[in-house]
């Protein structure tokens, strides 16, 4: 697909690894005053990497490691990019669930329709918090609290707001991507989900 601008929005990719397999989760943030600069994009990637290390990783298995966080300005095809190495490791001792097992957390905007919600499939779920296919309610609550820390204008980082991005509507690619602020996050249901692309032997 040709480059599609999403004005005043940065994409942050959390790149980790579990049992040799790459895991990627995307987060999007809109700048709420002025445009994206090298300086404020750098501040954002530092904040996201810190959030991973201090808020998200502590509830995941120590089999999962965050290798780096990448932030890209989506405003144009030559926008700034930062690639920040990370050594954050999951904080729960003990074996993780299989690579493909994930917790799905949904990002809601208060508007209906696929264009106005997003999600992350969180890897490295500790084996100790899943019984058969059911996640422990304490883990679900902790995961929701971790992502809630991102929600709200300036709440996570001054000048930025957590958003979902829509690139397609009605099966047609938009001329320009649109961003809608996230108003709350929720784990829908207590069952784990599957990401087959993370199974051993799928990619790097």
pLDDT exceeds 70 at position 196: no
- CA–CA gap between residue 96 and residue 137 (Å, rounded): 17
pLDDT exceeds 90 at position 175: no
Q: How confident is the model at residue 202 (pLDDT cuts 50, 70, 90)?
A: low
Q: How confident is the model at residue 200 (pLDDT cuts 50, 70, 90)?
A: low
Using one digit for the tens of pLDDT, what is the confidence trace for 21-35?
Answer: 999 999 999 998 889
Tell me, what's the pLDDT at 63?
Answer: 97
Decide: helix, strand or coil at residue 37.
coil
Q: How confident is the model at residue 172 (pLDDT cuts 50, 70, 90)?
A: confident
Residue 91: is it exposed, middle or buried by C-beta count within 10 angstroms (0-12/13-18/19+)? Answer: middle
Tell me, what's the pLDDT at 197?
Answer: 61
Domain map (residue ranges) of the chain: 9-198
Average pLDDT of span 159-164 = 97
Average pLDDT, the chain: 93
What are the contacts of 93-96 at 24+ separation with CB within 8 A? 93/62, 94/61, 94/62, 94/126, 94/127, 94/128, 95/61, 95/63, 95/126, 95/127, 96/18, 96/19, 96/60, 96/61, 96/63, 96/64, 96/123, 96/124, 96/125, 96/126, 96/127
Query: Which contiguous run of DSSP H or E holds residue 82?
Result: strand 81-85
What counts of helices (H) and strands (E) characterise the chain?
Answer: 2, 12
């Amino acid at each position: 697909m040709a480059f599609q601008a999403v004005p005043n929005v940065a994409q942050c990719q959390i790149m980790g690894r579990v049992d040799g397999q790459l895991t990627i989760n995307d987060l999007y943030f809109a700048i709420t005053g002025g445009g994206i600069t090298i300086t404020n994009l750098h501040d954002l990637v530092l904040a996201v990497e810190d959030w991973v290390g201090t808020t998200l990783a502590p509830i995941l298995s120590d089999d999962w490691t965050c290798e780096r966080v990448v932030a890209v300005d989506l405003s144009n095809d030559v926008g700034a990019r930062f690639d920040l190495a990370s050594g954050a490791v999951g904080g729960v001792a003990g074996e993780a669930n299989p690579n493909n097992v994930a917790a799905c957390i949904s990002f809601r905007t208060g508007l209906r329709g696929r264009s106005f919600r997003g999600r992350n499939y969180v890897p490295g779920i500790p084996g100790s918090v899943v019984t058969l296919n059911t996640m422990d309610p304490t883990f679900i609550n902790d995961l929701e609290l971790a992502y809630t820390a991102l929600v709200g204008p300036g709440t996570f980082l001054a000048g930025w707001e957590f958003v979902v991005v829509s690139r397609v509507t009605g099966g047609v690619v938009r001329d320009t991507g649109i961003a809608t602020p996230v108003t709350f996050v929720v784990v829908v249901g207590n069952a784990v989900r599957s990401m087959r692309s993370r199974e051993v032997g799928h990619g790097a």
